[in-house]
Amino acid sequence: MHELSVTESILDIVCRHATDAGAQRVKRIHLVIGDLASIVDDSVQFYFDFLSEDTCARGAELVFERIPTRLACRTCGHGWLPDTGDWTCPRCGAVGAQVVAGKEFYVDSIEVE
């Protein structure tokens, strides 16, 4: 359900920047979302379609770029992409990796007319 408030924020950011740029209409919105961000693309799309109805972003295409989870070992510094829920370092066996990618969530760019 947090996708509703997230989508409201996206729409606010996009419309504010489009207005500041003197744009009449937003055509496309590029979003970057890490796999650990707990954001469901379909839910964001659903809320966006509803919320943007009377805005400059009505009918805009949402483009979702997913960032995979990347970890780094706090002991040996080895970096890897986990393929399971096990975050044990495959090089040294240490537990307690640091997340270096996968928590991102931001509007990367917007295309306007």
Contacts 24+ apart (CB under 8 A), 75-81: none
pTM above 0.85, yes or no: yes
- The predicted-structure confidence for 49-75, as pLDDT tens digits, reads as follows 999 999 999 999 999 999 999 999 999
- The CATH number assigned to the domain with range 2-69+102-112 reads 3.30.2320.50
Helix, strand, or coil (residue 73): coil
